[in-house]
A and B are shown apart, each in its own frame.
Chain A
Amino acid sequence: MTDNSWLQIGLYLATIILCARPLGVWMAAVYEGRKTFLHRALGWLERLIYRAAGIRPDDPMNWKAYATAVMLLSLLSGIALYGLQCLQGYLPLNPEHMSGVSPDLAFNTAISFVTNTNWQSYNGETTLSYLTQMLGLTVQNFISAAVGMAVLVALIRGLRGKQTDNLGNFWADLTRGILYILLPLSVVLAMLLVSQGVVQSLNPYQKVRLVEPQHYSMRTTGSNGKMVNTRTVVRHQLLPTGPAASQIAIKQLGTNGGGFFGANSAYPYENPTPLSNWLEMAAILLIPAALCCTFGRMVGDMRQGWAIMAAMLLLLIPLMIGCTAAEHAQNPAVAHLIHHHPGWALKNHGYMEGKETRFGITDSAIWTTVTTAASNGSVNSMLDSYSAIGGLIPMWLLQLGEVVFGGVGSGLYGMIMFVIVTVFIAGLMVGRTPEYLGKKIEAFEIKMAAICVLVPPALLLTATAVACVLPGVTNALGNTGPHGFSEILYWASSTANNNGSAFAGLGTNSVFYNIVGGVLMWVGRFWIIIPTLALAGSLAKKKIIPPSSGTLPTHNGMFTCLLAATVVLVGALTFFPALALGPIVEFLSGGRL
């Protein structure tokens, strides 16, 4: 690691922490329905939406009504997105004449975006029309993010409710989240990104003449069926374009992560400069971090929010430093290679394979930890080519359950499930029926929290196991040995936890991976949302017990450490054996098995 690495890590974290409070307080105001300055500009639109959709924003919803609304909207979204992909060939805004997407890929992509996973089996510039990108992906980037935030807000209402079953109105939460939070931030970020060089146009792809035409000889099948060498001269490049900036802004802000282009944020048109990289990276954690403050504000004790954020940072910072250091280190296999060729000399720059020059190792590694800590999943460098430890860290961040900041809303409600488990065990240890924010944690709460903690590991371990032994499926691997296993494990971890980043060597655009991946994403998302809302409903019905000195404080350093320890312990104990067979053994081998 260089001095610059430390400086950038420090600067990045400081930015996130400084922005958290003002934005968090602002979001709390939005969700509590208080008037902000944006209401003057957009209030009419909000009212218009309610009228057009026949919604009364003050109608109370109990948890079942809230969950029904969430599920129904998500289901319809999925169907709409699936249809849009299949029919894009007949629809306008398709200058490159993309044909309809294959059914399994469309299924995977639809679920991927509805669940805020944004796994990329698709390849934006080669498969999707501009209309699909806009009306399909961009829309779901907004909706799935707003759904996550709404579920969080419902949970907060459950925590602070006094013997009620009202969790708020989902439609109002959704509208407010999009209109006052996601949309304004996206407009600002999109314009900043365009200024850096992110494309935003509806023009067809542009053909340019290469400075130096290139001659290649390729082996192709000739007309007589035999392999022949053909010489080709490449004189042109076809530069993809499209309405990218508007989608990338929400892709980062909504912790979605699905790229406009296949190479995601490594693609220069998505992420052209160190500054655009910085802005996008900041956008990834901006809302998840600020939601901690929203939480603190809404439960009436800011310290509760800071404590959770501190636990998240406690997990993030060492992993960020670890990943950066691991990528700066020397690749022992390459060193070995050089060593065996006298006269060869290599200027050591660490693991540069798969990384962009303009970001260097530091910005790539920070991005990687941030994007996997948050359930963003966009990549500005190729994780498959990371060092063993550098790849282990993002994979483990996924497996922790996307709770280190995590997805917008989903990260925090996931973390609150861990809080409940921690409070339960810690509460027992101080000899009281555990309580959190004055709410007793009893069998039902533990059951729901345990489901939330249990579902993603169960899904991903099972899926990995199946993928490991299914004949032929391993052909999809881009690498062999432990690294190939890491690719499968990463795929399952990423989809089951709704992250969407990938060890991209795995060819997942096949029926098995598309269908199984789609199921993992759907179950991983909604089998957590429903128990979370059920939990919120159960909490809302309870009394609030006033704190006493016998109450376990949940806002101090001790609790923060315990919370972090619980997340680490559950993550480590569940995944150590699997990780041992992937990145750990790869690391131990040093390239020589």
Chain B
Amino acid sequence: MSISTQSLFNRTILRRAVLDALGKFDPRVQVRNPVMCVVYAGAIFTSGLFVRALAGGGGTSAGFILAISAWLWFTVLFANFAEAMAEGRGKAQADTLRKGRREVTAKVLAEPHKGAVQRIAAAADLRQSDIVLVEAGEVIPADGTVVEGMATVDESAITGESAPVIRESGGDRSSVTGGTRVLSDWLVIRVTCDPGETFLDRMIAMVEGAKRQKTPNEIALNILLAKLTIIFLLATATLLPFSIYAVHAVGHGSPVSMTILAALLVCLIPTTIGGLLSAIGIAGMDRMIQKNVIATSGRAVEAAGDVDVLLLDKTGTITLGNRQAVEFICAPGVSLSDLAEAAQLASLVDETPEGRSIMVLAKQYCKRRPRDLESAQAHFIPFSAQTRMSGVDIANRQIRKGAIESIARHAAQLGGSFPAELETAAQTIARSGGTPLAVAQGSQVLGVIALKDIVKPGIKERFGELRRMGIKTVMITGDNPLTAAAIAAEAGVDDFLAQATPEAKLKLIREHQQGGRLVAMTGDGTNDAPALAQADVAVAMNSGTHAAKEAGNMVDLDSNPTKLIEIIETGKQMLMTRGSLTTFSIANDVSKYFAIIPAMFSGIYPCMNRLNIMHLSTPGSAILSAVIFNALIIIILIPLALRGVKYRPMPAAKLLMHNVLIYGIGGLIAPFIGIKLIDMALTAMHLV
């Protein structure tokens, strides 16, 4: 997406966020967040005290109350701003998406074939199972399934990927998305959703965060924060009677003022995390969108952080799409260049990736260019399921290429035999996870081509990372167990499921879930749909079928199956950011006590000043510094909340140590420095 490259603090987003932040002073917005709601109430309360002080009531100076009150308002504002910032990018993105959804008209067909009667209708009026025709240059009016035709489609409006993709009827490339453009040819499409429920609509809703629901961990954390707020509310409120007793007991001084109590309360309650909590959730979803993943809910993203088992399709995920020729093994007495040439000839018109890879390999050994075949009157024999061979009859040469048994049978028919050496070579290849193909010329078997699955470069390291995260990887393949085992070993997955059927996949997922594990899987085909629906985290490829996309709870617009790893990281980051900021927020309180408590009570008990270990200049400055620090820290931490705490794949114990040191110990020390600096600044500017 074009917007994903924008920096975190883009000028337009900033401007918009400031305006949105002001709009969030609405009490109906505030009441949703218990922590910030207390700050909000505190701000209103101190404002009231200020008015009373102006009218001559109360003992505290009006200027001081005003300063405290102002900074409480700022605290609320900063929290609003954080949320607005997090929403900002999504909103901008939604605007762009909306622009793409221009008013289009559709050619509605009466029958599901191109020649049927047409009528023109507005895209907005299309209903499920309407049939439409889209021709080159037109925009696809709604999500649907191709029922006829084949075309190249520009999906950049959704995926941001400029290269066109092919969409055709039947198979796994039949789904199209509304708002994308047909570049060439034509498509007959059956509409699969009603207006307002299209993929684009859902995407806009998602990026805007309009329907954002709190995730389970967020709810739990909110409960904890609310309870902490109650504790601090009590600890603060009871200070008034306590100080009344103290004044009574020592006979001088005055009870704590309401302003100072409000200030103390706001400093103690976890405003840092409370103010940033929703921003963290929104930003997490936003990061997913930047990674070109559309999640149906935050719950799914959060669940991704908990994944224990990852099911991955072999083909296209672990291995490059197709098998490739890696070696020629010659029969006794046959030269390598002869074998290579024969293989090349046999594969000349073989447009499959395997065929092309044979050509590539053959070129290394056979320097002769393929002869002019037209002049040689070549006759090509295509692959058929009966013979399981293909080849070419050229001049007087009969060249065949095919499965070992087929070529052996072919040679035997012509009176030849299959050399024992090649037999063993073929077995070795099969055992190591490859597929042997034999090449024969007439009755003579020339040799064997070894075809192999090529494991994607770097995939083994990725699996290593997953293992360090504590995630078990399972490869799913239709191959026989022998081949599967070999590839599994090479790719470094923990387990594999060979000869997988949709039922076997479903069963595997259920077994893992029974054992209490959380299962993630990627898929694109219609036959993946049941398994996707069963998996806890299911990522469907955007290139996949409609059924797969419906079954999954995320869609990867890049159709990159290893994206799951990044999704897991994002899920973990969301949790880690919440945990770390909670720790930080609570650890902060220690220093605030040392700032405020001596300032509060030194009037009653002068010896309390010995607790003023930061040597803050005056009681007023001490309290104000703590409040200012408390507000500013929210602003300072906005980038962290939006970017998320960095996730490093390492065992939980190490990760914990790392984060506790930074956010726990750091949270303990940082405010001592911060409050002291603010106090020095206030004193230097003679503000207190």
Direct contact of A and B (CB under 8 A): yes
**Nearest Cβ distance between residue A428 and chain B, in whole angstroms?**
3
**Binary contact track A421-443/B, C-beta < 8 Å → 1, others 0:** 10011111111111000100111
Among candidates A442, A575, A585, residue contacting B220 with C-beta atoms closer than 8 Å: A442
Question: Given the known A-B contacts A430-B652, A430-B656, A465-B242, are A576 and B516 also in contact in the complex, defined by CB atoms under 8 Å?
Answer: no
Evaluate contact between B586 and A573: CB separation under 8 angstroms.
yes
Evaluate contact between A465 and B470: CB separation under 8 angstroms.
no
Among candidates A443, A457, A558, residue contacting B653 with C-beta atoms closer than 8 Å: A558
A236 at the A/B interface (Cβ < 8 Å)? no
* Cα-based distance from A481 to B586 in the complex (angstroms): 32
Evaluate contact between A589 and B605: CB separation under 8 angstroms.
yes
Please report which residues of chain B, range 67-93, place their CB below 8 angstroms from some CB of chain A when the two chains form the complex: none
Additional 4 contacts, C-beta under 8 A, given A426-B579, A430-B659, A552-B652: A430-B655, A546-B308, A580-B601, A585-B608
A592 to chain B: closest residue by CB: B607
Query: Could you list which residues of chain A lie within 8 angstroms of chain B, going by C-beta atoms?
Result: 421, 424-434, 438, 441-443, 445-447, 450-451, 453-454, 457-458, 461-462, 464-466, 468-469, 474, 480-482, 484-485, 543-546, 548-553, 556, 558-559, 562, 565, 569-570, 572-578, 580-581, 584-585, 588-590, 592-593
Give the residues in chain A near B237, CB-CB below 8 Å: 465
Question: Given the known A-B contacts A425-B582, A550-B470, are A431 and B647 also in contact in the complex, defined by CB atoms under 8 Å?
Answer: yes
**Nearest Cβ distance between residue A539 and chain B, in whole angstroms?**
13
Evaluate contact between B586 and A432: CB separation under 8 angstroms.
no
Among candidates B468, B472, B516, B583, residue contacting A425 with C-beta atoms closer than 8 Å: B583
Evaluate contact between A428 and B656: CB separation under 8 angstroms.
no
Among candidates B243, B467, B652, residue contacting A551 with C-beta atoms closer than 8 Å: B652
B469 at the A/B interface (Cβ < 8 Å)? yes
Evaluate contact between A588 and B306: CB separation under 8 angstroms.
no
Evaluate contact between B607 and A585: CB separation under 8 angstroms.
yes
B29 at the A/B interface (Cβ < 8 Å)? no
* Cα-based distance from A493 to B593 in the complex (angstroms): 21
Which 7 residue pairs spanning A and B have beta carbons closest together?
A550-B470, A428-B579, A431-B572, A429-B579, A548-B470, A450-B227, A543-B516
Give the residues in chain A near B470, CB-CB below 8 Å: 548-551
Query: Could you list which residues of chain B lie within 8 angstroms of chain A, going by C-beta atoms?
Result: 216-217, 219-221, 223-224, 227, 230-232, 234-246, 248-250, 264, 268, 302-303, 305-306, 308, 467-472, 514-518, 571-576, 578-580, 582-583, 586-587, 589-590, 593, 597, 601, 605, 607-608, 610-611, 647, 651-653, 655-657, 659-660, 663-664
Among candidates B579, B587, B605, B652, residue contacting A553 with C-beta atoms closer than 8 Å: B652
B592 to chain A: closest residue by CB: A573
Among candidates B268, B517, B579, B657, residue contacting A546 with C-beta atoms closer than 8 Å: B517
Evaluate contact between A558 and B244: CB separation under 8 angstroms.
no
* Cα-based distance from A580 to B583 in the complex (angstroms): 24
Of the candidates B515, B590, B652, B663, the one having the most CB atoms from chain A within 10 angstroms of its own CB is B652
Evaluate contact between B305 and A433: CB separation under 8 angstroms.
yes
Evaluate contact between B242 and A464: CB separation under 8 angstroms.
yes
* Cα-based distance from A545 to B242 in the complex (angstroms): 48
Give the residues in chain A near B571, CB-CB below 8 Å: 431
Among candidates A454, A474, A558, A592, residue contacting B230 with C-beta atoms closer than 8 Å: A454
**Nearest Cβ distance between residue A406 and chain B, in whole angstroms?**
19
Give the residues in chain B near A574, CB-CB below 8 Å: 231-232, 235
Evaluate contact between A544 and B656: CB separation under 8 angstroms.
no
Give the residues in chain A near B217, CB-CB below 8 Å: 428, 433-434, 442
* Cα-based distance from A425 to B579 in the complex (angstroms): 5
Evaluate contact between A465 and B656: CB separation under 8 angstroms.
no
**Nearest Cβ distance between residue A572 and chain B, in whole angstroms?**
7
Give the residues in chain A near B220, CB-CB below 8 Å: 424, 441-443, 445-446
Among candidates A430, A469, A575, residue contacting B241 with C-beta atoms closer than 8 Å: A469
Give the residues in chain A near B608, CB-CB below 8 Å: 580, 585, 588
27 A-B contacts, Cβ less than 8 Å apart? A424-B220, A429-B579, A431-B579, A433-B303, A434-B217, A446-B220, A450-B224, A454-B231, A457-B231, A465-B241, A465-B242, A481-B250, A482-B249, A485-B249, A548-B470, A548-B471, A549-B467, A549-B652, A550-B471, A556-B653, A558-B653, A577-B593, A578-B239, A581-B245, A584-B611, A588-B610, A592-B607
Evaluate contact between B224 and A427: CB separation under 8 angstroms.
no
Evaluate contact between B652 and A550: CB separation under 8 angstroms.
yes
Give the residues in chain A near B579, CB-CB below 8 Å: 425-431
Question: Given the known A-B contacts A425-B579, A569-B586, are A457 and B234 also in contact in the complex, defined by CB atoms under 8 Å?
Answer: yes
Question: Given the known A-B contacts A450-B224, A549-B468, are A485 and B236 also in contact in the complex, defined by CB atoms under 8 Å?
Answer: no
Evaluate contact between B583 and A429: CB separation under 8 angstroms.
yes
Evaluate contact between B663 and A485: CB separation under 8 angstroms.
no
Give the residues in chain B near A573, CB-CB below 8 Å: 231-232, 235, 268, 586, 589-590, 593
**Nearest Cβ distance between residue A432 and chain B, in whole angstroms?**
5
* Cα-based distance from A386 to B472 in the complex (angstroms): 58
* Cα-based distance from A480 to B663 in the complex (angstroms): 42
Evaluate contact between B471 and A429: CB separation under 8 angstroms.
no
* Cα-based distance from A429 to B587 in the complex (angstroms): 14
**Nearest Cβ distance between residue A19 and chain B, in whole angstroms?**
30
**Nearest Cβ distance between residue A238 and chain B, in whole angstroms?**
39
* Cα-based distance from A116 to B544 in the complex (angstroms): 65
**Nearest Cβ distance between residue A570 and chain B, in whole angstroms?**
8
Give the residues in chain A near B651, CB-CB below 8 Å: 549-550
Give the residues in chain B near A464, CB-CB below 8 Å: 238, 241-242
Evaluate contact between A468 and B239: CB separation under 8 angstroms.
no
* Cα-based distance from A225 to B647 in the complex (angstroms): 85
Among candidates A443, A461, A580, A589, residue contacting B223 with C-beta atoms closer than 8 Å: A443
Evaluate contact between B235 and A548: CB separation under 8 angstroms.
no
Give the residues in chain B near A558, CB-CB below 8 Å: 653, 656-657, 660
**Nearest Cβ distance between residue A456 and chain B, in whole angstroms?**
10
**Nearest Cβ distance between residue A488 and chain B, in whole angstroms?**
8
Among candidates B224, B245, B308, B660, residue contacting A429 with C-beta atoms closer than 8 Å: B660
* Cα-based distance from A115 to B656 in the complex (angstroms): 38
* Cα-based distance from A36 to B248 in the complex (angstroms): 62
**Nearest Cβ distance between residue A267 and chain B, in whole angstroms?**
32
**Nearest Cβ distance between residue A420 and chain B, in whole angstroms?**
10
Evaluate contact between B586 and A545: CB separation under 8 angstroms.
no
* Cα-based distance from A370 to B302 in the complex (angstroms): 44
* Cα-based distance from A538 to B590 in the complex (angstroms): 34
Evaluate contact between B223 and A429: CB separation under 8 angstroms.
no
* Cα-based distance from A578 to B589 in the complex (angstroms): 15
* Cα-based distance from A545 to B236 in the complex (angstroms): 41
Give the residues in chain A near B605, CB-CB below 8 Å: 482, 581, 585, 588-589, 593
Among candidates A443, A469, A484, A592, residue contacting B244 with C-beta atoms closer than 8 Å: A469
Give the residues in chain A near B224, CB-CB below 8 Å: 421, 424-425, 446, 450
Give the residues in chain B near A553, CB-CB below 8 Å: 652-653
Evaluate contact between A431 and B245: CB separation under 8 angstroms.
no
* Cα-based distance from A465 to B261 in the complex (angstroms): 15
**Nearest Cβ distance between residue B666 and chain A, in whole angstroms?**
13
B518 to chain A: closest residue by CB: A545
